[in-house]
Structure formats: structure tokens, C-alpha cells
């Protein structure tokens, strides 16, 4: 894949046209303040392009998971404010519990070319996540053309990410962010410069194990660390004590060990681990830890980071790579006593003479916290979406866009 065959914003002539843009403004908000505006910043190139082209830019996004309609804590109002600051331009926030109701429509009717309106949280409408036809139609009625730039939501077929395209009268296109994400991930997976090393870690074992089958076919070396590793170690018949495990996936892991052998791929698991008797609480609390070999995790021990020998082995594998895709930390990096494994791998990835792609909220947080973010080729804005892409799935939010 790599290069997208879908229309992009450059293919649209938006002068005087109302363009609905699905962004990913699902940003962390604490006490009404945005704590990380990375996703808003990532949406700017597409928004600016449409403003420069004289479009009437109608932005929409979901934020969090409201359960009971228009819950004020999930309002996009703080995003409107931040976006105005970043664009250096007043934008109108169409406060409207119905998202596309009276107020939204009257604000849109008042727009001039180059104006920007932000709609309220699309999940204030329960139909959004069910891809309900009525809301899709209502969204489509607001605009002439539609742009999807929400990579982080592209793996979901919702009204604002997919359903709306059935009813848009004009053209549909992907935004710059979507295009960039797919180019990096697509090239890494479909057309990688070799050796291609994939690194998986983190805690969402069930979600991530599925990606392994596809990655094994594409990569040369698959490194597995973090909470992911212990289900594999159990599959190898090792004692894993109280470590994170997904018992239902033990057989699958056995299959994957077989598959790697059959394909002649190297699958690296930790040869030693940093263990503790219990998970730190709070997460950064000082705790008693010891490093033990993979064969000698005590029955009351919990593996919480990769050990020193493993760090070296993983770093050596990364050093010679030409393409690296990394999703999920190597240990409980939030705790300084358990961050060394993630640090060692982050350093090796940063130093590798390779195309390096980092995905997943926590991996990105780890790389940023450890100071390596600007040394990566690409940091993905969508954890779940990037995983599903790596799994080889077609993302509905991209599939629905018109071909070039
Ligand atoms: P996201 O899914 O939010 O995009 P991610 O994919 O980068 O993030 P997750 O799968 O959510 O990563 O896992 C990150 C969490 O995994 C971290 O909070 C970390 O503390 C935890 N973690 C890492 N190693 C272990 C381990 N051995 N045991 C338990 N938890 C672990």
C-alpha cells in the first residue's frame, strides 16, 4: 500500500464550499483544561489548507465516551478555544446538544469563505457509534464536501467517520494527517527497508496478540516485551508467577511460536525480567525489585520490566534495523524502578539508522517522557487504529473515501 490511492485535500476545489472535516480532537482534558494538544496541532495542516482554499470549514470530532447524551464534561468547547489560539483566528463553537440542531445550522448559514465552525461532540448523539442513518444524513446535509482526517478513529465505522459519506453530495477526501499516517505505516509494513524489526509491549494483551500473526509474515524480527511477554512465556511452559497473562490466548501464542519457526523469523522474548511481589501502588511508588532469569520467576513474583540482559539483546536487534515499528512499553515505565527496559529500547530505536514508527498512547507517552520523541521518524496519533492497520485490517474511515 504505502501511497494512498484515495482523494486528498489537494484534489478538492473548496472555494465557497462547505466542507465537513472529521478531526480527531479526542484530547485529554482535566478540570476543563487540555493537558495535551498534540492531536489538535496534528489537525492544523488540513484545516489551514481548506481555509486558504476559501472553504467554509465545519469541523467535527468525538471526545471521550459520553453515556448520557450531552454531558458538559465532554463538551468540545475547550478545543474550540485552543484551536482558535493555534490558528490565530477566531473560530465559532456551535454549542448544540443535538450537534446538528438549530444553533449549528444557523452558525453555518452565517459563514463566509475561510470561516471555521466547530460542532459539538458527535457522541452527544447516541446514533453516532451505531452508524445510524438519520444522524449520518443530518451531518451530510450541513456540507457540500467531506474530509476525513481522524486517523485515530478511522478503525471505527461511525456516522461521522464513515456513514456520512453515503449522503454527501460532493466529493470526499482524506486529510494530510490521515495520509501521513498511512504512508508511514503502509510503507513500514508493505514495503519496508530490511531488516524490519517490530516491537510489541504494553498491557492490552488480548488486543495486541492479534497483530502478531500478520506482523510475523511481514517483519524479520519480532520483539515481545512488557506485559505481552508472559502469555508467550506461559505457552513455552515457563513459570510466570503473578505476571500479566491472558489464559485464553496461550494456545494462540503456541501457534505463533510455531509460525515464527516455520517462517524462519526471529521472535525474541525476555531472557530475564525485573520482578516484584506486587504491582506498585501508586504506580510510581518505590518497591522492592529483583532481576531473575526467564526460567526462574518465583510463583509469587510479577514480571514488571525486562532485565538487563534482555535490554542488551533487544537493543542489538534494533541497532541493525532499517525499519522499526514499536507499539507498547517494555515495562511499567511510569515507575522509575521499572523504566529501564523501555528506556534502553527507546534509546536504541532513536539511535538506529532506520525509519522508526511509534504507535499507541502509552508508548508515545513513554518515548516523550524519556526525551526521544523528536528522534523518531513518525509518531502515530492513533493507537487502536495503527494496531488494526498493522493487523492487516481495512480501516472503514479510509475505505469509504472516494478513489483518486
Ligand atoms: P494505548 O493502548 O493507550 O494506545 P499502548 O498501546 O502504548 O497505549 P498499552 O497496551 O495500553 O500501551 O500498555 C501500556 C501500559 O502497560 C503501561 O501503563 C505500562 O505500565 C503497562 N505495562 C507494561 N509492562 C507491564 C507489565 N509487565 N505488567 C503490567 N503492566 C505493564
For residue range 269-298, list pLDDT tens digits in order: 999 999 999 999 999 999 999 999 999 999
Q: What pLDDT is attached to residue 369? A: 85
Q: Kindly report the number of other CB atoms within 10 A of residue 106's CB atom.
A: 11
Report pLDDT digits (tens) over 255-269: 999 999 999 999 999
CA 382 – CA 360 distance, rounded (Å): 6
Residue whose CA lies nearest to ligand 1 atom number 20: 332
Residue 3 pLDDT class (50, 70, 90 cuts): low
Which residue in this structure is represented by grid cell 489464559?
Answer: 247
Q: How far apart are CA 390 and CA 198, in angstroms?
A: 10
Question: Looking at the annotation, which residues are catalytic?
Answer: 39, 204, 361, 384
Rounded CA gap, 31 and 29, in Å? 7
Asked if 155 and 402 touch (Cβ cutoff 8 Å), the reply is no
pLDDT confidence bin for 1, thresholds 50/70/90:
very low
Q: Is the beta carbon of 227 within 6 A of some atom in ligand 1?
A: yes
Q: How confident is the model over 60-64, as a mean pLDDT? A: 97
Interatomic CA distance for residues 190 and 186, integer angstroms: 6
Q: How far is the CA of 70 from the centre of ligand 1 (A)?
A: 31
**Does residue 382 carry a pLDDT above 90?**
no
Distances (CA, A) of 162 to 115, 127, 128, 173, 344: 24, 13, 10, 12, 40
Residue 331 C-alpha to ligand 1 middle, in angstroms?
7
Ligand 1 geometric centre to CA of 227 (Å): 7
Whether the pLDDT of residue 11 is over 70: the answer is: yes
Q: According to the model, what pLDDT value does residue 390 have?
A: 86
Tell me, in angstroms, the distance from the centre of ligand 1 to residue 232's CA: 16
Atom of ligand 1 nearest to the CA of 331: 24
- What is the rounded CA–CA span in Å between residue 95 and residue 76? 9
Residue 94's beta-bridge partner residues?
119
Q: What is the DSSP string of 44-97?
A: HHHHHHHHHTT-EEEEE---S--SSSS-GGG-SHHHHHHHHHHHTS--EEE--T
Q: In what order do the strands lie in the sheet with 266-268?
A: 266-268, 221-224, 196-200, 323-327, 355-359, 378-379
Q: From the CA atom positions of the chain, what is the Rg in Å?
A: 23
Query: Pick from 216, 221, 162, 229: which is nearest to 348 by CA?
Result: 221
For residue 186, pLDDT over 90 is answered with no
**CA of 100 relative to ligand 1 center, distance in Å:** 37
Report yes or no: 364 and 380 within 8 Å, Cβ to Cβ. Answer: yes
Cis amide bond preceding 318, omega within 30: no
Supply the mean pLDDT for the chain.
95
**CA neighbours within 13 Å on the CB side: how many for 57?**
32
Element (H, E) at 387: helix 383-390
Q: Is there an atom of ligand 1 within 6 Å of 383 CB?
A: yes
Instruction: Decide: 328 in ligand 1 pocket, CB within 6 A.
Output: yes
Q: What would the mean pLDDT of 3-13 be, rounded to a whole number? A: 90
For 73-97, how does the pLDDT look when each residue is reduced to its tens digit (9 = 90+)? 999 999 999 999 999 999 999 999 9
For ligand 1, whether the C-beta of 225 sits within 6 Å is no
Do residues 41 and 54 lie in contact, with contact meaning Cβ atoms separated by under 8 Å?
Answer: no
| Closest atom, ligand 1, to C-alpha of 229 | 27
For ligand 1, pick from 329, 369, 379 the residue to mutate: most ligand atoms within 8 Å of CB. Answer: 329
Find how far residue 138's CA is from the centre of its chain.
28
Beta-carbon contacts of residue 270 (< 8 Å; ≥ 6 apart): 225, 229, 233, 294, 303, 306, 307, 310
Amino acid at each position: 500500500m504505502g501511497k494512498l490511492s484515495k482523494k486528498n485535500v489537494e484534489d478538492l476545489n473548496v472555494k465557497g464550499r462547505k466542507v465537513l472535516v472529521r478531526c480527531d480532537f479526542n484530547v485529554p482534558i482535566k478540570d476543563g483544561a487540555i493537558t495535551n494538544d498534540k492531536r489538535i496541532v496534528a489537525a492544523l495542516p488540513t484545516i489551514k489548507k481548506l481555509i486558504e482554499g476559501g472553504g467554509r470549514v465545519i469541523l467535527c470530532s468525538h471526545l471521550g465516551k459520553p453515556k448520557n447524551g450531552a454531558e458538559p464534561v465532554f463538551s468540545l468547547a475547550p478545543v474550540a478555544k485552543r484551536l482558535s489560539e493555534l490558528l490565530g483566528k477566531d473560530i465559532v463553537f456551535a454549542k448544540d446538544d443535538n450537534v446538528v440542531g438549530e444553533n449549528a445550522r444557523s452558525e453555518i448559514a452565517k459563514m463566509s469563505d475561510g470561516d471555521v465552525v466547530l460542532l459539538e461532540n458527535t457522541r452527544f448523539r447516541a446514533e453516532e457509534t451505531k452508524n445510524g442513518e438519520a444522524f449520518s444524513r443530518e451531518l451530510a446535509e450541513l456540507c457540500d464536501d467531506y474530509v476525513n482526517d481522524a486517523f485515530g478513529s478511522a478503525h471505527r465505522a461511525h456516522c461521522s467517520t464513515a456513514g456520512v459519506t453515503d449522503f454527501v453530495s460532493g466529493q470526499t477526501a482524506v486529510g494530510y494527517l490521515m495520509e501521513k499516517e498511512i504512508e508511514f505505516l503502509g510503507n513500514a509494513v508493505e514495503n519496508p527497508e530490511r531488516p524490519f524489526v517490530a516491537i510489541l509491549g504494553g498491557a492490552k494483551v488480548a488486543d495486541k496478540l492479534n497483530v502478531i500473526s500478520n506482523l510475523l509474515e511481514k517483519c524479520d524480527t519480532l520483539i515481545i516485551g512488557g506485559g505481552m511477554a508472559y502469555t508467550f512465556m506461559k505457552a513455552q511452559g515457563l513459570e510466570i508467577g503473578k505476571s500479566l497473562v491472558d489464559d485464553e490466548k496461550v494456545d494462540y501464542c503456541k501457534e505463533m511460536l510455531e509460525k515464527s519457526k516455520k517462517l524462519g523469523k526471529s521472535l525474541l522474548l525476555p531472557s530475564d525480567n525485573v520482578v516484584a511481589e506486587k504491582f506498585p501502588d501508586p504506580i510510581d511508588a518505590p518497591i522492592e525489585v529483583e532481576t531473575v532469569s526467564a526460567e526462574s520467576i518465583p510463583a509469587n513474583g510479577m514480571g514488571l520490566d525486562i532485565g538487563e540482559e534482555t535490554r542488551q539483546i533487544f537493543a542489538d536487534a534494533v541497532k541493525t534495523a532499517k525499519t522499526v515499528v514499536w507499539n507498547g512499553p517494555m515495562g511499567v515505565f511510569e515507575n522509575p524502578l521499572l523504566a529501564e527496559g523501555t528506556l534502553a529500547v527507546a534509546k536504541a530505536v532513536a539511535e538506529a539508522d532506520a525509519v522508526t514508527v511509534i504507535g499507541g498512547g502509552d508508548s508515545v507517552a513513554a518515548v516523550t517522557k524519556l526525551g526521544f520523541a523528536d528522534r523518531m521518524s513518525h509518531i502515530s496519533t492513533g493507537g487502536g487504529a495503527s494496531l488494526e492497520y498493522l493487523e492487516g485490517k481495512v480501516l472503514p474511515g479510509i475505505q469509504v473515501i472516494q478513489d483518486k
